[in-house]
Amino acid sequence: MLTARNAIVATITIAILSILGTVISLLQPPDSDGYGHDSYGTRGAGFRGVFETLQRLGVPVQRLLVPADAIHETDATLVLWAPYAVLLHREPVYLQRISDWVARGGRVVMTPPDGTLSDMVQTMRTGNPIDPVHELFSGLGLDGMRVSQANPVDESSDTSGGFPDPIAGIRDDLPITAKMQRAKAALNLPRYEIQPKFTGCFADLQNAVASIDVPQTGVDVLVTQRMPLSGRIAFRDADGDEHTLAASFSVGRGEIVVVGDPRLLQNQFIARRDNAVLAAHLLAGSSRSLYFDEFYHGLTIRGNPMWLVTQPKYAMTTLLLLTVVALWAWRRAVFLGPALTDNTTSRRTLVEYVEAMARFFVRGHASHVFLLREVRSGVLWSLRHRLGLNPGQESVNDIVAALERKDPAAAVELRAAVQSVDNLLLHPKRLAGRDTVIAMQRISACL
């Protein structure tokens, strides 16, 4: 039946089950069911392939869900691969911590955010476009660097096998939803083989990496503007111009390796040509401990508790907890149903009630006989319990025999008192009130 109490119980039960479900889901790995653009991602745009490739090669690789301060050793490599532009803009302090860690001797392998998606998401949310690439480079001390685009093949030639260019033609006057649809199509890109050139600290890779696959058009390349490089990976486009695909910089006592296009190590590219070999040498070539940063992919909890309220799971948990507390407070403060009657104080004492019942029994027919029988059976029942006899041992002989072993005089008095009551009960018509009272007093004294 639907009542106020049942409604409250049902609400609290649902809230508890929802909280338990949320807690269980939060204890699971934050893998976004493989749809994320991170090391958990199993789709074409994810990086699960390179992560598991490094694991199979025996590289000590793990995911990092906390700020870089947790990496106590400087002899390690932090992979900052395609961080989210929104988080770069909102969490600059974490980037400064990474910069300080590199200055102490750490190594970072990074790529800029994916401009085809992150800028659109930020514009769609706030309406204010940002420059995440500049924020990333300036935060790590690479202020003179920017990202441009190069085409390995001539745009006028059709070498894609009939695939349209998914990025070309995205105009500024298109609505955000149309841009997102075109950007989603860009995740399955036509590929093109190039022969990279390795110099500086990357010179040893010339014999290990013969060719790699890159997106056919719109490859993100680095413009270093005469910055001092310790190593460079380059290729030539369709016009013969040389472009920087990746570069290495010395920062303090550490090193930063910047790769222009994060798509080179996506799942859809990692198994092509020598992409996996290039990834293994770039990320783990120094035989260091390897950490994939997932903080800037949103797979961790921020330090500000109010940030959790903006996330659906935590907001729902908070709302349910507040609902349970409010219902508990309301239930404790308000009594449901009709008002309770006031407890009135009785005007009679216990002695008065006993006297009234006694007068009632005396008025009844054969009341003396009833009282004598009840008192006799009550005394024997009490003595049986006191002596610890079994329920079947309720006769006078059994009780007297047990009482003789403890108090012979009391046993003799009990037998005499019971005998006097039995004698009076043999002649109920001759029973007088005085004899009844004397007999009850005598047998009650045996207790």
Assess whether 89 and 41 both reside in one domain.
Answer: yes
Same domain, 41 and 141: yes
Q: CB-based burial of residue 41 (10 Å sphere; 0-12 exposed, 13-18 middle, 19+ buried)?
A: buried
- Distance, in Å, from the CA atom of 9 to the CA atom of 141, rounded to the nearest integer, reads 58
HSE-up of residue 366 (Cα within 13 Å, Cβ side): 9
Q: Is 367 exposed, middle or buried (0-12, 13-18, 19+ CB in 10 A)?
A: middle
Q: Which residue has the tokens 């005089």?
A: 409
Indicate whether 185 and 294 sit together in one domain. yes
Same domain, 213 and 276: yes
pLDDT the model gives residue 162: 38
pLDDT at position 257: 92
Whole-number pLDDT of residue 219: 86
Q: Say if residue 359 is in the same domain as residue 215.
A: no
pTM, full prediction? 0.58
The pLDDT of residue 109 is 92
Residues 129 and 201 sit within 8 Å (Cβ to Cβ): no
Tell whether the torsion through CA atoms of 230, 233, 237 and 240 is positive or negative: positive
The two beta strands, 76-80 and 61-64, are unpaired
Any idea what DSSP says for residue 66? S
**292 and 308 part of one domain:** no
Q: What is the CATH number of the domain that holds 292?
A: 3.40.50
The answer on 329 and 377 residing in a single domain is no
Domain range for 400: 350-444
Check residue 151 and give its pLDDT.
82
Give the residue ranges of the chain where pLDDT is below 50: 116-120, 124, 158-174, 176, 178-180, 182-183, 185, 302-304
Distance, in Å, from the CA atom of 204 to the CA atom of 34, rounded to the nearest integer, reads 35
Task: Find the helix or strand (DSSP H, E) in which 8 lies.
Answer: helix 4-27
Split into its structural domains, the chain has a count of 3
Q: Residue 153: count other Cβ atoms within 10 Å of its Cβ.
A: 16
Whether residues 223 and 94 share a domain: the answer is yes
Do 74 and 174 lie in one domain? The reply is: yes
User: What is the predicted pLDDT for the residue at 341?
Assistant: 73
Dist CA 37 CA 297 (whole Å): 8
Q: Does residue 218 share a domain with residue 139? A: yes
Write the CA distances from 192 to 150, 211, 218, 272, 323, integer angstroms.
13, 10, 11, 10, 57
Residues 5 and 39 in one domain: no
- Same domain for 103 and 19: no
Number of H helices, E strands in the chain: 16, 12
